Amino acid sequence: MKLTDKRIDVYPSIWRVIGLTLTSLLFVVGGFFMKNYPRVDVDKYIGYIGIAFFSFGVIIGIGWLILIAMHKSLARIFDDRLEYLIPARMKYEIIPFQHVEMFVITKTRSAKIIRADYLTGGSKNTGILNTLVSVGKVCDILNDKLERYWEQPMLSQELDQASVTSASSYSQ
């Protein structure tokens, strides 16, 4: 049985990215005014820190806007795998469904992220954050695809045969 490669592309919300960028830009301007017109001596240092910190938010927001303009999806969901974008390398990392037990939403300090729990007991964060997309909907889609993947008949036997065949060909 051959899997079909129907693909679902997940793009970041342009309004969330624009909001993040403009909010960071507003705080950079606020830091600039605190630096130039301090009421107290400490305001000057707080202004420098604000400019440095929120400038990264502006840079990241502009980077995401460029990725949106280039039509680079944040993640691609196939029938047999998840591919998610690592923006710093401009490459997709692949999580094959044959190793995944389920996808869950975990909370980090500042955001919610989708995590893949493996059959072997390990887990891996996917980089799909709630600041860019609705992680609840994406996690539901991933778990539905994963459920359909494991319901396919004879798939596990074919995968076991293929892994044994490829392992034996490498050992020769």
Confidence of residue 56 (pLDDT cuts 50, 70, 90): very high
pLDDT of 18 strictly over 90: yes
The reported pTM is: 0.69
For all residues of the chain together, what is the average pLDDT?
81
Phi, psi of 92 (to 5 degrees): -100, 135
Q: Are 18 and 65 in contact (CB under 8 A)?
A: yes
74-162, CATH topology level: PH-domain like (2.30.29)
pLDDT score recorded for residue 161: 44
What per-residue confidence (pLDDT) applies to 136?
85
Task: Specify the pLDDT at position 166.
Answer: 40
CA distance 103 to 147: 11
Given a cut of 50, whether residue 64 has pLDDT beyond it is yes
Phi/psi at 84 (5° precision): -120, 145
